[in-house]
Structure formats: C-alpha cells, structure tokens
C-alpha cells in the first residue's frame, strides 16, 4: 500500500521542480528505516533538486498539499530549501495500518 503515497510524493516533488526551478538535475532516493527485530519500520523518500532553492510552502498549494497527504498516512515531511539550493523534500511513511482520520 505504500506505493500510492510514494508515487504521489515523488510525482508532486518532480512537478514542482519542473514548474518552479531551472534545476539541471534531480535525485530521488528511497530507503527503509529498521524497526523491531530488523523489520522495516518506515519508508523514507528524498527528492533533491539541484536548483536555486527558496521553496516556500506558503507561496502555493503543491508543498502544503503534499504535506497534508503524507500526514493523513501517518507520515512526516521535512523541507530544506536554503537560498542558493539545493531543495530537499524528505518524507517518512510508517509501515502498518493507516491511522483513522477524525470526522469534523
């Protein structure tokens, strides 16, 4: 089940790179974090573009939408985008059931 959120994270990040930067390259990495008894506890995905940096979630909906989708899955999102670059989005998605979403 982690394939869908991973696809969403990577596709949104690559779309942002294409739309908002002149980055000459992008790196996508995925790995697992070990948990109890050596079984994977979480999947980590990092997308790093080699552009000018300065990404700001307050300036649009792409990054905030990505953060919201990851949070619904019980995951976390980290953004690093200093002026001068690079921009790195790191997402950690837990293995296991999706937490229930409270009705409001």
CATH of the domain at 87: 3.30.565.10
**pLDDT class for 40, splitting at 50, 70, 90?**
confident
Q: Token pair for residue 100?
A: 């229930």
* Averaged confidence pLDDT in the chain: 85
103 falls within a domain: no
The total number of structural domains in the chain stands at 1
Asked whether the beta carbons of 95 and 43 are under 8 A apart, the reply is yes
Q: What is the pLDDT of residue 99?
A: 63
61 falls within a domain: yes
Q: Token pair for residue 69?
A: 């989708």
6-30 pLDDT, tens digit per residue, is 888 899 889 888 888 888 999 999 9
102 falls within a domain: no
101 falls within a domain: no
Q: Token pair for residue 101?
A: 């979403």
């Amino acid at each position: 089940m982690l394939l869908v959120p991973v696809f969403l994270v990577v596709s949104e990040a690559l779309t942002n790179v294409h739309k908002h930067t002149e980055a000459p390259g992008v790196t996508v990495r995925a790995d697992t974090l070990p948990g109890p008894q050596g079984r994977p506890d979480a999947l980590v995905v990092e997308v790093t573009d080699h552009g000018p940096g300065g990404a700001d979630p307050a300036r649009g909906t792409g990054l905030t939408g990505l953060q919201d989708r990851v949070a619904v899955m019980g995951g976390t999102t980290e953004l690093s985008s200093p002026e001068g670059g690079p921009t790195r989005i790191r997402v950690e998605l837990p293995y296991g059931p999706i937490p229930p979403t409270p009705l409001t």
